[in-house]
Amino acid sequence: MGISPVPLGLYGDETITACAWISGITGLGFVVRSLTFARPVIDLRALAIRNFSLGWWVSFVTGIGIFTTVYLTPLFLGRVRGFNAQIGMAMLSAGAIERARSTEPARSCRVGRRTSATGLDRFAYPRYV
Q: Identify the domain containing residue 41 by its residue range.
A: 8-46
Length of the chain counted residue by residue = 129
* One domain, residues 75 and 24: no
Is the pTM higher than 0.85?
no
Asked if residues 45 and 35 have their Cβ atoms less than 8 Å apart, the reply is yes
The 10s digit of each residue's pLDDT in 19-45 is 989 999 999 999 999 999 988 888 888
The distance of Cα 107 from the centroid of its chain, to the nearest Å, equals 27
Question: How high is the mean pLDDT of the chain?
Answer: 76
* One domain, residues 66 and 128: yes
Inside any domain, residue 121: yes
- Helix 50-67 with 113-124: angle, nearest 10 deg: 60
The 10s digit of each residue's pLDDT in 53-83 is 999 888 888 888 888 877 888 888 888 888 8
